[in-house]
Amino acid sequence: MEKNVDVVVVGGGAAGYAGAVALARSRRMVLLVDAGDQRNISAGHVHNFLTRDGMPPAELYAAGRAEFQGYGGQLITGRVEAIARDGELFRMTVGEDTITARGVLVATGARDELPDVPGLAEQWGRGVIHCPYCHGWEVRDRRIGVLATGPTAVHQALLFRQLSADVTLLVHAGEAPSGQAADQLDALGIAVVAGPVVAVQSGGGVLTGAQLADGRVVALDALVVASFVRARAELLAPLGIETAEFRVGEHAVATHVPPGPSGTTSVPGLYVAGNVAEPMAQVITAAAAGLMAGAALNIELITRDAAAAAQRQRDHFWSEQAWDDRYREHPQRFSGAPNAALVAEVSGLAPGSALDAGAGEGGDATWLAQQGWTVTAADLSQVALERAASAAAAAGVTIEAAHLDLTAKPAPGRYDLVTSSYVHVPGDLRRLLFTRLAAAVAPGGTLLVVGHDLSDLSTSVPRQRLAEAGWTAEHVAATLGDGWVVDTCAALPRTVTNPHGEQVTVHDAVLRAHRVD
């Protein structure tokens, strides 16, 4: 079976379900893959999780599962066996299923690598514990042993001494504490016993003590162990995601996938949360990280969707095909008369070569040719250019048609006059257009740009998207740089009839300048 979803969440722990719920509540199509082997599944209870203190982990995850599915989330019990990038998608294999997703939240957690002491693993999460905040209250005032296997042992002993006066440090590997550390342990009444420990003893499923190599047994109710926490991140290697050491001081105590803000990684659309990213995270902090990662992934998808929608709309509104279609909607879209601003600004100039950029159906180009200019009429729409050529022929003049998108490539030459009237391009391409218009002006030549002034945003003709199509003359002037003298820079009024038949005043942004270099 092949499934296509917005997001796959890999891992059914606190981070995974919290992220999945956030995404599902945002109406994303979310599929969560739960292998059922959460790091703390063997623990008796969850602690330090506000309002859920004392809940068995299995019950917490069952409640999370119900919440997730209540918001329409899909669940697969299994394991992601492979993941690969497929263009902008992720492709995953789960058993016989293939799943494609736009985003992935990896919350696979970590595995605790325990010292190789017989009987220790069987008590993991019950009599054998690691964290005073997770398990300390439950062993308060009991006989607590700390298995010293590395540099954090003294630190652990001090932490658990806060909870019980009966704490013993069992030197399983390495040297016994010395110097200041030994003085602190002695001052707090923490016994130091030479090891190594050869077995953890239990009776009736309850830890009872630690057997030493010399045969002695230290009676205990709990044994504290510093596991090496190894991130379950092998799945991510094909995507170029590698683990790094997580260090406490100079000592590596874990591996993890170093997360960016809100769980980001170097792979777009791939996020990490929980113990795979933060080895020391407790259940509540893992859940919080999952929530933040899920929210960040949702924002990334929203941003992608918005950009794609804008591009589709832009392609629809601004593309060559869109302009061809607009012209085909009417036998003649415009009046054929030259624009008033062009006539007013150009009438006093000596004719020469002219480029009319965005010539449309040729009203300006035809008028310029009638005044003696040698005119190149450029437009994105081939339909418009055919009409411009016909209009010029009907007026008894000749123009040269150039099928040209000035946002894609420069003008084919330099001209004594470069004019553009009401050329509409998206805002992010406008500066490029103005720059290319200016570059096409020969030394001593004139640039004339006319457009819908932004002052008419609320009153002008609604057939155009003025927020993108409009600008001010000052906007154009700001793109010119050195070597120009500005002759006209103004918003000039004119009267038009709006679609309701009313006479209204609109304003043209008019920039006329001449090149002096």
The predicted pLDDT at position 468 comes to 53
Whether residues 276 and 406 fall in one domain: no
Residue 173's nearest CA partner among 133, 124, 228, 222 is 228
Whether residues 177 and 272 fall in one domain: no
Secondary structure E strands in 227-386: 228-231, 244-248, 251-256, 270-272, 353-357, 374-379
* 61 within domain boundaries: yes
Indicate if the pLDDT at residue 353 is higher than 90: yes
* 319 within domain boundaries: no
Whether residues 362 and 435 fall in one domain: yes
Whether residues 339 and 485 fall in one domain: yes
Rounded Cα distance, 480 and 473, in Å = 11
Indicate if the pLDDT at residue 110 is higher than 60: yes
- Tell me which H or E stretch contains 415: strand 415-421
Rounded Cα distance, 162 and 222, in Å = 15
The predicted pLDDT at position 459 comes to 53
Rounded Cα distance, 308 and 301, in Å = 10
* 316 within domain boundaries: no
Number of other residues whose CB lies within 10 A of the CB of residue 64:
22
Whether residues 9 and 55 fall in one domain: yes
Provide the terminal-to-terminal Cα distance of the chain, rounded to the nearest Å. 69
Whether residues 336 and 375 fall in one domain: yes
Query: Which among 308, 342, 358 is the end of a domain?
Result: 308
Rounded Cα distance, 419 and 427, in Å = 19
pTM of the model: 0.72
Backbone angle region of 329, left / alpha / beta, with phi > 0 → left and psi within -120 to 50 → alpha = alpha
Whether residues 97 and 238 fall in one domain: yes
Indicate if the pLDDT at residue 223 is higher than 50: yes
Q: Which CATH number fits the domain that encloses residue 492?
A: 3.40.50.150
Task: Indicate the number of domains in the chain.
Answer: 3
Query: Which among 157, 191, 226 is the end of a domain?
Result: 226
pLDDT, tens only, 228-267: 999 999 999 999 999 999 998 888 999 999 999 999 999 9
Whether residues 99 and 220 fall in one domain: no
Mean pLDDT computed over 203-213: 96
Whether residues 38 and 100 fall in one domain: yes
Residues in a beta bridge with 492: 508
The predicted pLDDT at position 463 comes to 42
Report percent pLDDT > 70 for the chain.
97
Residues in a beta bridge with 32: 9, 75
Domain boundaries, position 62: 2-110+230-308
**CB 453, CB 425: distance < 8 Å:** no
Q: Are strands 206-212 and 197-203 parallel, antiparallel or unpaired?
A: antiparallel
pLDDT, tens only, 447-490: 999 988 887 755 544 444 444 556 889 989 999 989 999 999 99
Rounded Cα distance, 472 and 451, in Å = 8
Secondary structure E strands in 213-303: 217-219, 222-224, 228-231, 244-248, 251-256, 270-272
* 296 within domain boundaries: yes
Mean pLDDT computed over 331-347: 92
Mean pLDDT computed over 489-516: 88
Query: Which among 308, 336, 356 is the end of a domain?
Result: 308
Whether residues 281 and 430 fall in one domain: no
Whether residues 104 and 170 fall in one domain: no
Whether residues 211 and 262 fall in one domain: no
Q: With bands split at pLDDT 50, 70 and 90, how would you rate the model's confidence at 363?
A: very high
**CB 388, CB 401: distance < 8 Å:** yes
